[in-house]
Structure formats: C-alpha cells, structure tokens
Amino acid sequence: DRQGYRQWDRTYGGSDADQLFSLQQTQDQGFILGSASASNHSVDKSQDSKGGFDYWVIRLGSPPAAGLPVAHIAGDSVICSQPIQLTATSNGLIRSYRWNTGATTASISVGQPGTYTVVLTFAGGVTATAQQVVTAFPTTLRIQGDTLLCPGSSGRLTARAAGALAYEWSTGEHTSTIAITQPGTYTVTASYTGSCTSTRQIQVSALSLRIAGASELCTGTPTTLTAQTIGASSFAWSTGATTPTITVTQPGTYQVEVRFTNGCVLSASHTLTQPRATIRGDSLLCAGHSGQLMAVAPGATAFRWSTGTTTAAVTITQPGLYTVLITYSSGCQRSLSQRVEMEPPIGAFSLGADTTICEGAALLLRAPLRPLAGLTYRWSTGATTPTLLVQQAGEYSVQLSTACETHTATRRLLMRPCLTIPNVITPNADRLNDCFVIQGLTGEWTLTLYSRWGQQVYTTAAYHNDWGATATAGTYYYILSQPNSSSSYKGWLEVIR
C-alpha cells in the first residue's frame, strides 16, 4: 500500500474473517504465514499436530526490482577550501565497493580535482559503475572602491565575483556594495553554488597630512619643511611655494594646503621656534651650603654666566638673579635667567606637654605653620597635614622637612576613665531610669552592691548597666573598680519605686 505495508487477502473456506495463527520471517526477507477459517480448520504449518487438516503456505516477498541495479555517486563536484565527500549509492543491495583510489568504503574524502570511479558488486556477482568529475573552484572575487577617505567623509566598496550567489561583509551587511565611513580592514565572503566560498580583504586608509621638519630654528639658519601624505595632486604653502618641500630661514608658523585626486582638501601647520634652552638646578640655597645651576641647551657651543663663568654649570653660594648667554653653532644667541632664594630655617617647635584626657575624648595636635617653600609634614600615624586629631593613648610625633633640614617633635597622650554615676534610679518599667546606668563605662568593670545594713546584694566582674530593674526600694552602697586601670569608685544609690 502507500505506507509501504505488504497486503494479503485469502479466504480458507469459512464464513467469517480468516484468523492469523502464525507469521514467520524467512532469511530472504519474505514471510510464511498460516491461518484458519471460522470453521476451525487449522492450517498452522509450524505445528505437526495439525497434519490432519488442510493448510495453506503463502510466501510474501519483496516486489521484484525493475531491471538491473544502478550505481550513483552523491556529493559535491567542486572542491573549495576543504575536502569534499563522495558517497556511492544504488537501488540494489550492495555487497562491496571498489573506488579507483583503492578505497573499499561507501564514502571517500576527496581533496584534489579529477575523475573518481566506483564499481559496486551486488548478489550474483552483478556489478555497476558510476563516475564523478571533481573540479577545483576558481576564485574570481575582488574588491573595488575608495581606499582613501577624507576625514569626516564616506566612501563605497564593491565586491565582484563571477557566479557568486551572496556576499557577507565584516560589517554584517549582505550586499555587494557597502558604504564606509571609517578606515580599517574590510573583509567580504562570497558564497557560490554548493558549499563553496571565497574571501578577500581590503585596507582602507584615512587621508592625513603632516609637515615634517625641525621644530627649532635660529634666525637666519635655513631648514626644510616637507608636507607628508599620499595621493596628493597639488600643494599650496603660505610662502607661495607649490612643491611638497620648502626651505625656510625664519622662525614662525608655516601652513600648507593639499588637494588630493579624490577631491579631498587638507591643511596643516608647523611652528619653528628658537632652539630650546633651560636652566636647571638649585633655586633654593640652604644656609651654609652651596648650590649649582646648569644651562641645558642642545647644540650650544658657548656659555657665559653673569658671574663670569664660561661653562654650562655654575656654582652659587648667595641668593640673587643669575643670567647665562648661550651661543649656538649657527651663531644665534639666547639669554636665560634664574632667581635663587635662601631657604629660611624651620626653627625649634613643640607639640605641647604630655596630656591625660578622658577615655572617648579627642585631642587636636598642631604642628607649627611655616612660610617655607617645599615644607612637608609627616606624623607617626602617616598623616601629612599640619594638624592631627587623636583619640587613642600613645606617643605621637611629627616631622617637619624642607630641602635643607628636618625637625621632629613628640607628645604623649594618656587616657583615663571618666564616668558619670547616678545616685537615683526609678525602676517602674517605663524604660526610663529603670537600671543603674553608668555613662562612659567601657571595658571590664567589677561592681558590688550592699544594702544599708552591709549585706551584699549583687556582685559581678563584668557589669553592663543592667542592675536595678527588680531591686527593692531603699538605699544601696556600691564599689565600682577596673582591675586593669586601678580605677575605683565608691558611693551610694537610692532606688525609688
């Protein structure tokens, strides 16, 4: 039938529908079946006990093939960048494969163009042959368009390839032509019939213009300036010159305008200054010490200081204004000056006497302010400000430094408990003054309470402001102490209900 099932219709003589008792498959893919009619005439060939009855033997086989088996080769006929696979197929039952490559499998991998043949052998020694011609894929992909972009403008790139079915650019576009606005590398992949693809790249550059040449020039000394670029069609300098390179003899700013073959116009400028020269060295002198100034002037051939020294470096011992005249090989001269100051001394200072404050309080330590160049502060805590706020006991020091000297001062800070002890509590469950709360209580404190008759009613080695909520009204006497600090307090407390 249309679903591929084998159909069979046979009546055994009964009045009703036949009944299938046995269905056995044979080695040649056929079937032997036995059945009985409604009259209960058993026809099961597989049971000898039914030998006294008539039976039918019916074989259902496959439909006969039309003609001899035919060989085919499935797979691509064009090799791209990767090997292709060829597979031998047939409408008959294949017993063996023999390719002209020597392979004996149904499929082979092919990496070279050529003619590939396979011989298929079927039952009874029947053979069939198939042939496939494999060719190499010809690459014709090329990219044309704008490879030079004007700053701020756009261009176009077009991919062309004979037989291409689709294009995919590195920009994500799938057209043969794309618009571009940025320089960079652009890649396109062309797809062809089958699984073949080819890829090409093109480099797009942004047009640029710079003027190459010296940046320093003594008046009267010639030097050359060159407009560096690619694809230029004309040059126009601010001097009137129309060549890529010009010769100039004066410091100043020079401009050039360049036109390109794609219509782009760019301009650039270059400034020539007199040779660089600086004075380095000690602008501050320490009392009783000397310093040095150095004239740094590449290309200089002679120096003359206001002190009479004729070397690049001069030793100084006094504050004042120092001037040097520098001469270059071209004959041009430059004059530079440097003022030198005498650094005042820091002087002695103190942070104050050692101090004891209450625990939890803070003390602001102040270092002296001095109008000194380069004065720095460094506290023992690492702080670098003139003042330091401290809240812990310890020894604190500050170091004041200039390029000439360093001075240090130290101050010790001690801490003691400072407690606020009430003498009346009112435990009435209103959460206000219900307990014996001692303000400023930190660390481990021992508390012992006695009644007015001297009887101990409460004691703890670690009091946490939690006694009194259930205490009887009356007068109590306490001893509060801290073993670590040797601090001790005594007094009385009234409980009012």
User: pLDDT per residue over 277-312, tens digit each?
Assistant: 999 999 888 888 899 999 999 878 899 999 999 999
Which tens digit of pLDDT belongs to each residue from 224-236?
999 999 889 999 9
The pLDDT, as a whole number, for residue 102 is 95
- Please tell me whether the overall predicted TM-score, pTM, comes out greater than 0.75 for this model: no
Please state which CATH number belongs to domain 424-495: 2.60.40
Which tens digit of pLDDT belongs to each residue from 196-253?
888 999 999 999 999 998 777 776 678 899 999 988 999 999 999 999 999 998 888 9
User: Quick check: 162 pLDDT over 80?
Assistant: yes
Please state which CATH number belongs to domain 210-272: 2.60.40.10
Q: Predicted confidence band at 45 (pLDDT cuts at 50, 70, 90)?
A: very low
Candidates 2.60.40.10, 3.20.20.80, 2.40.160.10, 3.30.530.20; correct CATH number of 355-416? 2.60.40.10
The pLDDT, as a whole number, for residue 318 is 93
Fold for domain 278-342? Immunoglobulin-like (2.60.40)
Q: Predicted confidence band at 65 (pLDDT cuts at 50, 70, 90)?
A: very low
Higher-pLDDT residue of 4 and 66 is 66
User: Quick check: 47 pLDDT over 50?
Assistant: no
The pLDDT, as a whole number, for residue 10 is 52
The pLDDT, as a whole number, for residue 64 is 43
Average the pLDDT over 336-359 and give the result: 89
User: Quick check: 185 pLDDT over 50?
Assistant: yes
142-206 falls under which CATH superfamily? Answer: Immunoglobulins (2.60.40.10)
The pLDDT, as a whole number, for residue 296 is 95
The pLDDT, as a whole number, for residue 18 is 56
User: Quick check: 370 pLDDT over 90?
Assistant: no
User: Quick check: 148 pLDDT over 50?
Assistant: yes
Residues 71-136, CATH architecture: Sandwich (2.60)
Higher-pLDDT residue of 298 and 27 is 298
Give CATH 2.60.40.10 domain extents, the chain: 71-136, 142-206, 210-272, 278-342, 355-416
Average the pLDDT over 104-124 and give the result: 93
What's the CA gap between 472 and 463, in Å, rounded? Answer: 19
